[in-house]
């Protein structure tokens, strides 16, 4: 992996269309001490930002009672794949209010498909 490939702002084809409230699994490459490994991060999409730089999305989960948020750019080559586990039904574009709720209270309803 070289710097030129990191600076290109092409969208990653492994990232599907996301919306706030979706529960997702993100597989990301982590480089530590010259070794690469894949780490899976599960959570709820609380923010999707689109822009000229490609945009990004933020995922939140509660791990051992502590809220953990991670932001991934849409154009990042370090994101191997994003799998949408379920589509949530929400009425906001930014779900920052989930930060103040417990993990059980922050669960979103599932979006029903139109028949």
Could you report the per-residue pLDDT of 30-44, keeping only the tens digit for each? 998 889 999 999 999
What's the pLDDT band for 103 if we cut at 50, 70, 90?
A: low
- Tally Cβ neighbours within 10 Å of residue 73: 18
Q: Residue 89: what pLDDT?
A: 86
Q: Name the pTM for this structure.
A: 0.79
Assess if residue 92 is contained within a domain. yes
Q: 97 phi and psi, to 5 degrees?
A: -65, -15
Question: The domain containing residue 58 runs over which residues?
Answer: 16-105
57: domain CATH number is: 2.30.30.790
What is the three-class DSSP state of 59? strand
Assess if residue 93 is contained within a domain. yes
Segment 74-86 mean pLDDT: 90
If one counts the domains in the chain, the total is: 1
DSSP lists the bridge partners of residue 60 as: 44, 69
pLDDT digits (tens, 9 = 90+) for 49-58: 988 788 899 9
Contact 105, 39 (CB under 8 A): no
């Amino acid at each position: 992996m070289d710097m030129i490939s990191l600076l290109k702002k092409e969208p990653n084809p492994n990232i599907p269309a996301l919306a706030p409230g979706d529960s997702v699994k993100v597989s990301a490459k982590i480089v530590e001490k010259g070794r690469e490994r894949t780490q899976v991060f599960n959570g709820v999409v609380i923010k999707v930002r689109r822009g000229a730089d490609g945009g990004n999305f933020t995922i939140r989960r509660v791990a051992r009672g502590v809220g953990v948020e991670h932001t991934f750019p849409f154009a990042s080559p370090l994101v191997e794949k994003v799998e949408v586990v379920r589509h949530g039904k929400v009425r906001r574009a930014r779900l920052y209010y989930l930060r103040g709720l417990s993990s059980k209270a922050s669960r979103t309803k599932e979006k029903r498909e139109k028949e």
